[in-house]
Amino acid sequence: MKLVSDYFGCMVFDDKVMQERLSEETYNTLKRTIKDGRSLNLSVANAVASAMKDWAISLGATHYTHWFQPMTGITAEKHDSFISPDEGGRVIMEFSGKELIRGETDASSFPSGGLRATFEARGYTAWDATSYAFIKDNVLCIPTAFCSYGGEALDKKTPLLRSMEAINRQTLRILKLFGNEDATSVKTTVGPEQEYFLVDKELFIQRKDLMYTGRTLLGAKPPKGQDLEGHYYGVIKPRVQAFMKDLDEELWKLGVLAKTEHNEAAPSQHELAPIYATTNIAADHNQLTMEIMQKVAKKHDMVCLLHEKPFAGVNGSGKHNNWSISTNTGVNLLEPGDTPAENAQFLLFLCAVLKAVDEYQDLLRISVATAGNDHRLGANEAPPAVVSIFLGDELTEILECIEKDQPYGAKEKELMRVGVHTMPKFPKDTTDRNRTSPFAFTGNKFEFRMLGSSASVSGPNTMLNTAVAESLKQFADELEKADSFETALHDLIKRTITKHKRIIFNGNGYDDKWLEEAKKRGLLNLKTTPDALPQFVADKNVRLFTEHKVYTEKEMHSRLEILLDNYCKLIHIEGRTLVDIAKKDVLPAISAYSQTLANTILSKKSVSNALDCSYETETLTQISNLCAAAYSGVKDLEAALDKFTKNKDVKKLSVFCKDKILVKMQEIREAIDALEMIVDAEYWPMPTYGDLLFNV
């Protein structure tokens, strides 16, 4: 039997391999440059590249690629082979330092939102040496950032790295104030829990909607849904079990710490949780996880659906972004400590998060805004579109006591003074077991729960890191000037609680009463993607990102443009797909069935007028009416789709997509789903929800 410990990370050029294959000097220089975040000099790069190539070739690799995350939401690769001609007309395998650290790529096929002038179509990719290279399908993949020649970010990784640097800078200032001089760098950590569906491949290929859009645009509810809740943590079916085993192995080879796999709320829905890692690595690993999930599923004759809402009326899929801040000395800064001083520090970081989430609710909402996720948020299966923080009763009470200068706890006589009192630990079970909060404190980390399943975690973490960096910056500015640190700290924490406590909500986020209450508190409710995205370039957000050097203003505008454009294109494809299915598959099938019914009525009547035809006649009438409604909807939808190309303003177009195209699609769907319930199953032109959800 293969031991996991023997093959874990066997396809990764990790620290162990580096130590084995690099000279001591090269290894040390590489480590130092990685640590200081500087760029490699060419002779070191050459040595690393050569060792990397030999290692990769020994494992069967023939090609290499700079692996990056363009704005399209998937990863991109351009494979180059190692071969290079030698003098004898044969080839040798070559890979230079230059090729390792920097690649040129034709950027013209990736969205740039106007950043790249057409005459300058080139972009370049640069090695993110903090994320290890790995081999996938005989290709050496080098995790890279992707920029235009002007240095503007064209990908999701660059801003993420910049935001990590911003929070590092500000956190170190705070730690110094607390007398912590050992920590020399601080990193945010992320553990993304990934939800997904598995469906049978044979059935999948019969659903054009799933194939073209990733979600079903039609489909009546099956008689059995997720009502019985029997699937959650239920027994995993053998076929799925085999898939999960394979998936774990593939991920482990790539050094991805896949830890738990279980069933989710909906039938055919599952979840994978990794052990957390440094944020940029977690982001790379999550992209890799999604890719490998799809690949392994195919091997098992299944298709892995990563769409946020593949099935209407059935729980959608999300991605929980567990987030914390850790020092290089191994201290989790969101872990309540054992001493009063540690607690004061914990409370300050807690306040930094409260302030950040309150002041930049819009950014967090924007960071999860996609067409797919609009079907989940606020639909009683995922957090509402209103951002709030769950702290749990205990921690909330402590904050209240600090704010009001009141004693904490039944026995406690003294007032709760920051820096004087120790705090109780918060075992996970007393913290959030209510899953309705968008942003929950879970004992020693926050769990941001609004992300959609297909999202890259880079965007949300870029927002979160930068917003928290800004709180910390303001805190440090104030505390560094204070005469008495203790007093200033206490005042600052008190003041922050008072000012930002409106963001704390421990109740049921699915309750309509919460939405009313949130409105009273002045919290934002950006319901859909077109509502949310334009806020990205609000003055306060431009100030935030430029101040911390995470995005330039130009980059922000280009990103907004790309995101809106993606949204519109996606809805347009959905609309066209629905027209196609309706006109070519569903309506013809219904028409054929109508003929059968009509023939039956005629035949019966020809035998005897006394024969009862109520079933046939009533069904035929219902079918004809619904069919007419569907057909008229399809014509309207076609007309709306026609207008699409004429609208040049992408912001207006996104609103048009939401208000006209999506609404029309819903009307058509209602008619067709009603038809599905009464049309002979033999005639129905595609697998039903029942087939898709219960057939794996």
Q: Applying CB under 6 A, does 349 fall inside the site for ligand ADP? A: no
Of 602, 604, 581, 603, nearest in space to 675 by CA: 581
Q: Applying CB under 6 A, does 190 fall inside the site for ligand ADP? A: yes
Q: Pick from ligand ADP, Mg ion, none: which does 274 bind, CB < 5 to 8 A by kind?
A: ligand ADP
Q: Pick from Mg ion, ligand ADP, none: which does 534 bind, CB < 5 to 8 A by kind?
A: none
Q: Applying CB under 6 A, does 332 fall inside the site for ligand ADP? A: yes
Nearest approach, Cβ of residue 450 and ligand ADP (Å): 15
- Nearest 10 degrees: CA dihedral of 535, 537, 542, 546? 130
Question: For residue 606, what are its two tokens?
Answer: 């020809």
Q: Applying CB under 6 A, does 319 fall inside the site for ligand ADP? A: no
Of 195, 175, 177, 156, nearest in space to 283 by CA: 156
Residue type, 676: E
Q: Applying CB under 5 A, does 231 fall inside the site for Mg ion? A: no
Q: Pick from Mg ion, ligand ADP, none: which does 658 bind, CB < 5 to 8 A by kind?
A: none
Nearest approach, Cβ of residue 464 and ligand ADP (Å): 12
Give the binding range for ligand ADP (CB under 6 A) out of 267-275, 469-477, 478-486, 623-631.
Answer: 267-275
Whether the CB-CB separation of 215 and 372 falls below 8 Å is answered with yes
Site string for ligand ADP, 26-65 (x = CB under 6 A): ----------------------------------------
Nearer to Mg ion, 436 or 541 (CB): 436
Q: Applying CB under 6 A, does 324 fall inside the site for ligand ADP? A: yes
Nearest approach, Cβ of residue 263 and ligand ADP (Å): 13
Nearer to ligand ADP, 152 or 193 (CB): 193
Nearest approach, Cβ of residue 444 and ligand ADP (Å): 6
Q: Pick from Mg ion, ligand ADP, none: which does 324 bind, CB < 5 to 8 A by kind?
A: ligand ADP
Q: Pick from ligand ADP, Mg ion, none: which does 191 bind, CB < 5 to 8 A by kind?
A: ligand ADP
Nearest approach, Cβ of residue 455 and ligand ADP (Å): 16
Quote the longest CA-to-CA distance of the chain: 103
Given candidates 116, 320, 365, 669, which one binds Mg ion under the rule CB under 5 A? 320
Q: Pick from ligand ADP, Mg ion, none: which does 686 bind, CB < 5 to 8 A by kind?
A: none
Angle at 484 between CA 357 and CA 496, to 5 degrees: 20
Angle at 295 between CA 292 and CA 299, to 5 degrees: 135
- Give bridge partners of residue 80 from the DSSP assignment: 64
Which residues lie closer than 8 Å to 388 by C-beta, 6 or more apart? 437, 438, 439, 503, 504, 505, 509, 518, 523
Q: How many residues bind Mg ion (CB under 5 A)?
A: 1
Give the binding range for ligand ADP (CB under 6 A) out of 9-17, 64-72, 92-100, 269-277.
Answer: 269-277
Nearest approach, Cβ of residue 245 and Mg ion (Å): 23
Nearer to Mg ion, 116 or 320 (CB): 320
Given candidates 323, 390, 441, 536, which one binds ligand ADP under the rule CB under 6 A? 323
Q: How many residues bind ligand ADP (CB under 6 A)?
A: 15
Of 291, 294, 289, nearest in space to 277 by CA: 289
Sheet strands (E) in 111-182:
122-127, 133-136, 139-148
Residue type, 311: F
Nearer to ligand ADP, 276 or 567 (CB): 276
Give the binding range for Mg ion (CB under 5 A) out of 210-218, 221-229, 313-321, 686-694.
Answer: 313-321
Site string for ligand ADP, 430-459 (x = CB under 6 A): ------------x-xx--------------
Angle at 318 between CA 316 and CA 322, to 5 degrees: 160
491 phi and psi angles, rounded to 5 deg? -65, -45
Q: Pick from ligand ADP, Mg ion, none: which does 323 bind, CB < 5 to 8 A by kind?
A: ligand ADP
Nearer to Mg ion, 309 or 320 (CB): 320
Nearer to ligand ADP, 29 or 326 (CB): 326
H or E element, residue 82: none
H or E element, residue 130: none
Nearer to ligand ADP, 64 or 323 (CB): 323
Nearest approach, Cβ of residue 436 and ligand ADP (Å): 14
Nearer to ligand ADP, 153 or 333 (CB): 333
The residue with its CB nearest to Mg ion is 320
299 phi and psi angles, rounded to 5 deg? -60, -30
Nearer to ligand ADP, 307 or 445 (CB): 445
Q: Applying CB under 6 A, does 274 fall inside the site for ligand ADP? A: yes
Residue type, 690: G
What span, in angstroms and rounded, lies between the C-alpha atoms of 536 and 526?
A: 12
Nearest approach, Cβ of residue 118 and Mg ion (Å): 45
Nearest approach, Cβ of residue 189 and ligand ADP (Å): 4
**Positive or negative, the Cα torsion across 443, 270, 455, 156?**
positive
Give the binding range for ligand ADP (CB under 6 A) out of 25-33, 233-241, 319-327, 369-377.
Answer: 319-327
Long-range CB pairs of 586-592, under 8 A, 24+ apart, other chains included: 586/218, 586/630, 586/672, 586/675, 586/685, 587/627, 587/630, 587/631, 587/634, 588/685, 589/679, 589/683, 589/684, 589/685, 590/623, 590/627, 590/675, 590/679, 590/683, 591/627, 592/683
**Would you tell me how many other CB atoms lie within 10 Å of the CB of residue 235?**
10
Nearest approach, Cβ of residue 472 and ligand ADP (Å): 17
Residues 193-232 that bind ligand ADP (CB under 6 A): 193
What span, in angstroms and rounded, lies between the C-alpha atoms of 15 and 509?
A: 44
Give the binding range for Mg ion (CB under 5 A) out of 128-136, 317-325, 420-428, 467-475.
Answer: 317-325
Nearest approach, Cβ of residue 236 and ligand ADP (Å): 16
HEC profile for 11-61? CEECHHHHHHHCCHHHHHHHHHHHHHCCCCCHHHHHHHHHHHHHHHHHCCC
Question: What is the chain's length?
Answer: 696
Q: Pick from Mg ion, ligand ADP, none: which does 147 bind, CB < 5 to 8 A by kind?
A: none
What span, in angstroms and rounded, lies between the C-alpha atoms of 283 and 81?
A: 26
The site for ligand ADP (CB under 6 A) is made up of 189-191, 193, 273-276, 322-324, 332, 442, 444-445
The site for Mg ion (CB under 5 A) is made up of 320
